[in-house]
Structure 1
């Protein structure tokens, strides 16, 4: 009996039962670049994030730069009573949040103060995709012409009149640093943006069109926790956002959203080089699905609608197969702000593209500097 017991103890020593590994802890950075016309939304955004933070071993850090205030690094944490609270961990001297230098500094501070196994980024600011400063409104010069009282919508980031460029933003992010980047900002679903960031993050959540104010705010309290799951549920978060706006009425029933896996974007570039060889006349541009609301120009077109015209049946079939792999989730309302120079959405592949246009030679030059253009044979 004693011998048997010793044998059992010996076996248990040799083959100890291993506990389930703890899920990775995650730090999500909310980059609130609102030293611009969005400043009035800042407090409501922060409160919604406070309510939605699930707590535990995870971190939620907010870089807040708003009008007439010193920038701050805030932490949302759960106190001993189980209540979510907000505290300031660092106050910065006046700085421009729309520079790569500032963004890099903030990332460094976050890594130092809130180390984690994984990181996510939510970026809230004005945005205009890959476009150079001022090109959204005046592409020929690289006047906004909307309704008299336009519905409010949200460059990668803007501080006053300064804009953070795509290349500068990508350059300061270490490779494979983020599990995901979510853009609470307009026009960020362009292939130009996605390709520039493909080595920086695993997934990107973005919008082909503008984002109607107040953006993600209505879903943070219920859906933020999805981003803290061991495998961040970007598709679930995107669906919650879309379902909210799709349930609205009138012009407010306006939303596009996409979640893309960046691992397949190199294959998309290979496809473009092999199959996208047909010329699409510029006269055909009005037939192609667009996602912007300007009377005199179009800058954001549906990727599949355009590139599908540049190839044959075999190429279109392969493109569809590729996009089904790359685009994890996509959704769009039938119309987008129809009462204010809006448009019908008949084609929504989840990714947009710029198309070279003769009347925008300076913009075309800048476009050809992007990684997507350098690695694909771009035939307008």
Structure 2
């Protein structure tokens, strides 16, 4: 990932000056008591940024850099009367720097709550995430809620050594646990400010979590979303313009040169995922052999960071669908993927000649279905396992 170290150091200083109420626990080691919740009128939109930064991103001060961008946006009126709340799991949880709930305003950053200093509680736990969401809704009532998930991520993969979403002191969150935490929370959008979450497996698992989900199919540079540019879209009057935010993020990186010109963004209409699953299942039902050409499907990753995500359309085409099947499938994909854009390469290391907006795991052999617990994914059980080659292996 790209690192603008000197810039981030300056952002550390800027945020420290602006967030005078964001301070560590006192010398007794006990966290400050939470600030009493003040009565608040409902606003048109509250956006929660769930920021998991007790990892390398926090070490590099990317969290403080993004908080500084949020401050800049708020100072120019980008919140449009809405409220921006940040759950900040900051570096140093094990040494007394407990997570905090912050509010970013035009006047600075206010610490709303410092959570109990208990390092045994991890912010990637579904119960903690659900608790935070409920607290934010009570604290900042609104007609509409949006969620930004900020951290490292690794798509659908679930092993002890890989992260589906989040990284809190090396503990991670399974995509199934994320779906559980978000169940019934009624967000109007979810924006993944992290790498490699635009896969069909992720979107299927989270299809009930929000009407629109924005994510990247590849690695994002460490700077992530440019909040000073995108927050006006997320706080737009009426419906949030999440496609505008995704396009702005893409344009930001597409304007760069060299290896910094790296980005691929996707916005998905989750209500169309059922039709895409149906069309895909019809094609998988006819797969009776593994085509050797499957080994050449467009990858969305580099060898140093293997997410095992490949271009979904390239994959489907190599499963030899009938003309009617591929037409129906492409119609379903067009309904589901409402925005997609990609730079020509990933860090100048991997050419991105094809980007349909969704990645997918590619099975080359029936023995591979258990890799990274793939056969536990809902997409595998509901769609991929319809292949006669795999049906007997369906758990």
TM-score scaled by structure 2?
Answer: 0.79
Whether 1:241 and 2:262 are equivalent positions in the alignment is no
- In 2, distance between residues paired with 1:111 and 1:265? 28
Q: Between 42-51 and 287-296, report the one with greater CA deviation.
A: 287-296
1:309 matched to 2:318: yes
Whether 2:251 is the aligned partner of 1:227: answer no
Q: 2:66 aligns with which of 45, 70, 94?
A: 45
Q: Aligned in 2, Cα 1:25/1:135: closer, same or farther, shift over 3 Å?
A: same
Partner of 2:52: 33
State the partner residue of 1:179: 188
Show CA shifts across 1:295-316 (max 9, x none). 6967101111101222122222
Find the aligned partners of 1:42 and 1:136 in 2 and give their Cα distance: 21
1:183: Cα distance to partner? 0.5
How many equivalent residue pairs?
331
- Larger mean CA deviation between 272-281 and 165-174 belongs to 272-281
Cα distance in structure 2, aligned partners of 1:268 and 1:45:
35
* Larger Rg over CA atoms: 1
Q: Is the 8 A contact 2:217 2:359 kept in 1?
A: yes
Q: Which residue matches 1:165? A: 174
Matches within 5 A, 1:14-25: 25=44
Report the CA distance between 1:55 and its aligned residue.
Answer: 3.5
Change (3 A) 1:56 1:234: closer
> CA separation of 1:280/1:90 partners in 2, compared to 1, >3 Å: closer, same or farther?
farther
Structure 1 residues 296 and 323, CA, compared in 2 at 3 Å: closer, same or farther? Answer: closer
The 2-side partners of 1:188 and 1:279 are apart by 29
Counterpart of 1:196 in structure 2 is: 205
Q: What do the CA deviations read for 1:35-56 (whole angstroms, capped 9, x no partner)? A: 1111021111111112223244
Q: Paired residue for 1:98, among 117, 124, 127?
A: 124
Provide, for residues 302-335 of structure 1, a one-character-per-residue CA deviation record: whole Å limited to 9, x for no partner.
1111012221222222222111111111000111
Q: 1:285 to 1:326 in 2, by over 3 A?
A: same
Equivalent residues of 2:293, 2:318 under 8 A apart: no
Task: After superposition, give the CA deviation of every residue in 1:164-208 in whole Å (9 maximum; x if it has no partner).
Answer: 111011112133611100001111001111011111101010011
C-alpha contact 1:25 1:58 (8 A) present in aligned 2: yes
Gaps spanning 5+ residues in structure 2: where? 1-41, 391-395
Cα pair distance change 1:280/1:288, threshold 3 Å: farther
Residue 366 of structure 1 and its aligned partner are, at CA, apart by: 1.8
Q: Is the 8 A contact 1:176 1:199 kept in 2?
A: no
Q: Which residue of 1 aligns with 2:294?
A: 285
Q: 8 Å contact 1:157–1:164 — kept in the other structure? A: yes
1:60 corresponds to 2:84: yes
Contact 1:30 1:61 in 2 (8 A): yes
Distance in structure 2 (CA, Å) of the matches to 1:296 and 1:166: 19
CA change 1:55–1:248 in 2 (3 A) is closer
Work out whether residues 176 and 202 of structure 1, in 8 Å CA contact, stay in contact via their aligned partners in 2: no
| Residues 1:211 and 2:220 aligned together | yes
Counterpart in the other structure of 1:15: none
Displacement of 1:360 in angstroms is 6.6
Q: Which residue of 2 aligns with 1:142?
A: none
Alignment of 1:76-95 (within 5 A): 76-77=104-105, 83-93=106-116, 94=118, 95=121
C-alpha deviations, 1:24-80, integer Å up to 9, x for none?
A: 711100011011111021111111112223244411100001111210000123xxx
In structure 1, what is the Cα distance between the partners aligned to 2:247 and 2:347? 20
* TM-score calculated relative to the size of structure 1: 0.82
Q: For 1:173 and 1:346, how far apart are their aligned partners in 2?
A: 34
Q: How far is the alpha carbon of 1:358 from its aligned partner?
A: 4.2
Q: Once superposed, what is the RMSD of the aligned Cα atoms?
A: 2.2
Shift of residue 278 of structure 1? 2.9
